[in-house]
Amino acid sequence: MKALTPFVVLSTLLFSAAPAFAATANEAAIQAAVNHPVRSAANKARDVHRHPVETLSFFEVTPKSTVVEVSPGGGWYTEILAPLLKAEGKYYAAHQPADATSEYAKKSLAAYQAKLAADPVFSSVTVTGFAADKVYAIAPAGSADVVVTFRNLHNWYMQKGEESLLTAYKSFYAALKPGGVLGVVEHRLPETKAAGDWTKSGYMPQSLAVKVALQAGFVLEGTSEVNANPKDTADHPSGVWTLPPSLALKEKDKAKYQAIGESDRMTLKFRKPKTE
């Protein structure tokens, strides 16, 4: 048997270590963005519940990715994704439609735009429109490496049920490149409670979230328990809003709900097929 030269051995070791090195480098870049000074103290305090480094790593986000965040709300993840993607990537924030008529939507969008205008780190963010009533161009078609959405499925489901969910997923599908990733985090309803009246609780069965994504053409590639919370029984008086950070019951049983922590959440990674 021919002996391997030191060069061949070193090359083999370097080649085999490359994926692990890349993963480590990406995680370090995400951690640096998590540590960015633009982040508010209140948002940083929730890292223990939302696990941004692990979650974005699982969704294959890198500093060079083109990422669409759907319904970014007040910008919790914007404070991480904007600095992460500013130099080499691209960040689309699919917020409320520009022509939205509800006062809530208009105020929410205005507040988000004011946030972006307040710091140069957000100067490269492109705001697009999204709602679950029709398919929106949340980014140029076929341009996104990753589409992510956090704790939003229940909002769309409360409009027209599975129809709204499917419409939303179609917007995501259109924006993604073939082979691109859809990352979903959502409050998780135990499957044993799915036969009850849960539709306004803020929770959703994982099986339903997956079923509609498959109908839209996605493939479920993986799940993670990084955002799981086994203390959450998902049967609270004011639904998921009973728990932090909302604490809908105010001082009533506050210590009890703080001890539970934030909701139990599914973390799902779907992929748009490379060939259709």
Q: Give the whole-angstrom CA distance, residue 276 versus residue 259.
A: 47
pLDDT in tens, 93-132: 999 999 999 999 999 999 999 999 999 999 999 999 999 9
Q: What percent of the chain has pLDDT over 70?
A: 91
pLDDT in tens, 234-259: 999 999 999 999 999 999 999 999 99
Q: What is the pLDDT of residue 265?
A: 98
User: Residue 18: is its pLDDT beyond 80?
Assistant: no
More confident residue, 73 or 1: 73
What is the pLDDT confidence band of residue 1, given thresholds at 50, 70 and 90?
very low
Residue 67's nearest CA partner among 116, 24, 129, 126 is 126
pTM metric for this prediction: 0.91
CA distances to 52, 94, 108, 186, 249 from 79, in Å = 11, 15, 16, 20, 29
Q: What is the pLDDT of residue 275?
A: 81
More confident residue, 240 or 13: 240
Q: What is the pLDDT of residue 5?
A: 53
The average pLDDT across 140-167 equals 98
User: Residue 14: is its pLDDT beyond 60?
Assistant: no
Q: What is the pLDDT of residue 3?
A: 52
Q: What is the pLDDT of residue 7?
A: 45
Buried b (16+ CB within 10 A) or exposed e, 172-192: bbbbbeeebbbbbbbbbbeee
User: Residue 164: is its pLDDT beyond 60?
Assistant: yes
Q: Report phi then psi at 64, rounded to 5.
A: -100, 5
User: Residue 10: is its pLDDT beyond 60?
Assistant: no
The average pLDDT across 13-25 equals 63
User: Residue 13: is its pLDDT beyond 50?
Assistant: no
